[in-house]
Structure 1
Amino acid sequence: MRRTLIALAAVSAVTLPVVPALAQTATATETFLAAKPTDVLSYNLVGLDVKNPQNESIGEIKDLILSQGSLAGYIVSVGGFLGMGERYVIVRPNSMKVVYSENDKKWSATMNATKDQLKAAPEFKYEGRWKR
């Protein structure tokens, strides 16, 4: 029993000074934030049909690429039928317009491209570190 108390005292002496130091490095305002009306949740984007200005379906957002905490790209599937033969390309965020319609209560994604341009873009493959 005495050894257990000594061990607990030793562990407490080592860990207690560290905990307050960690708590002081980040305040609640630096760690947490509130969503703004202009923010988009990822689940609203994944699966979203991408259309061109002529309102033709040219692909579907399949995934998002985050780099150092910021949106770096959309992975868009193009071609294929029922998941067969589709290929993936990465689209820069500034080349796609994602908007929410208050009237329709729907998200939409448009980009100035054709299905053929997307098919000709460099292919992204889910392999290696990006394997699903």
Structure 2
Amino acid sequence: MTQPANTQTGTGTGGAFAFVRDGYARVEPHDLKASDIESATVYGRNDETIGTINSLRVGTDGKITDAVVDVGGFLGMGAHSVLLPFNQLNVQRETGGSAVRVNLDTTKEKLKAIPQYTA
């Protein structure tokens, strides 16, 4: 199996995983709507599925501040939810399309080690 090609884009800011998958472009937070990334699949460093965006928290200024990521589970049951600062996410949109990818520089096991988030 061939790994997808990724292009380094620098060191990133705020802990965001700094690469862009071929065929995608990094999206700035101010260019996003919550509906663009809610329910999006979250991928790890090696392009493995590690979770799903459950919901977003928005600050009083209307900007996305945090993301609730569900890790594990099946059809929403038994998932381990964690709250992550939005600046840790690397959000990319398909070039010329609308598909969105979310990447984190971590593993499913490390996310499961974070205390459970309950709203």
- Take 1:78 and 1:125, find their aligned partners in 2: how far apart are those partners? 13
- Take 2:60 and 2:97, find their aligned partners in 1: how far apart are those partners? 34
What TM-score, normalized to structure 2?
A: 0.69
Which protein has the bigger strand share? Answer: 2
Superposition pairs for residues 88-99 of structure 1, below 5 Å?
88-99=81-92
Which protein has the bigger helix share? Answer: 1
Aligned to 1:77, the other structure's residue is in SS state strand
Aligned to 1:123, the other structure's residue is in SS state coil
Structure with greater contact order relative to length (CA < 8 Å, sep ≥ 6): 2
Superposition pairs for residues 1-132 of structure 1, below 5 Å?
39-69=31-61, 70-103=63-96, 105-126=98-119
| Identity rate, percent | 28
Stretches of structure 1 lacking an aligned partner (at least 5 in a row): 1-35, 127-132
Structure of larger gyration radius? 1
Q: Cα deviation per residue 1:46-96 (whole Å; 9 max; x = unaligned)?
A: 100000120100000010011222221000001111222112101111111
For structure 1, which segment, 90-99 or 63-72, has the greater mean C-alpha deviation from structure 2 after superposition?
A: 63-72
CA RMSD across the alignment: 1.7
Stretches of structure 2 lacking an aligned partner (at least 5 in a row): 1-27
- Take 2:96 and 2:112, find their aligned partners in 1: how far apart are those partners? 33
- Take 1:82 and 1:67, find their aligned partners in 2: how far apart are those partners? 29
The question of whether the paired residues in 1 share the 8 Å contact of 2:45 and 2:107 is answered with no
- Take 2:76 and 2:31, find their aligned partners in 1: how far apart are those partners? 30
What TM-score, normalized to structure 1?
A: 0.63
How many residues align? The count is 90
Residue 102 of structure 1, CA deviation: 1.3
Aligned to 2:50, the other structure's residue is in SS state strand
